[in-house]
Amino acid sequence: MFFTKSFGYAVRGILYVALMSDEKRKVQIEEIAERLSVPKHFLGKIMNKVVKQKILDSTKGPYGGFSVNNSTLSVPLLKVMEVTEGLEQFSMCALGLKKCDPEHPCPVHYKMEGLRSDLRKALAEDTINDLMIGNKPELIRNISAT
Pick from a copy of itself, DNA, none: which does 110 bind, CB < 5 to 8 A by kind? none
Residues near 116 by Cβ (< 8 Å), separated by ≥ 6?
Answer: 89, 90, 94
Q: Is 73 in the site for a copy of itself (CB under 8 A)?
A: no
Contact 17, 35 (CB under 8 A): no
Residues near 109 by Cβ (< 8 Å), separated by ≥ 6?
Answer: 93, 94, 100, 102
Out of 25, 34, 37, 39, which residue is the one contacting DNA (CB under 7 A)?
39
Residues 75-134, interacting with a copy of itself (CB under 8 A):
77, 89-90, 93-100, 104-108, 111-112, 115-116, 118-119, 122, 126, 131-132
- Nearer to a copy of itself by Cβ, of 49 and 109: the residue is 109
For residue 35, what are the CA distances in angstroms to 2, 16, 32, 66, 143?
Answer: 23, 9, 5, 15, 9
Please choose, from the candidates 111, 98, 112, the residue with its C-alpha nearest in 3D space to the C-alpha of residue 2: 112
Query: How many Å apart are CA 70 and CA 121, to the nearest integer?
Result: 23
Site string for a copy of itself, 11-30 (x = CB under 8 A): xx--x---------------
Q: Is 56 in the site for a copy of itself (CB under 8 A)?
A: no
Q: Is 9 in the site for DNA (CB under 7 A)?
A: yes
Residues that bind DNA (CB under 7 A): 4-6, 9, 27-30, 39-42, 44-45, 47-48, 51-52, 58-66, 85
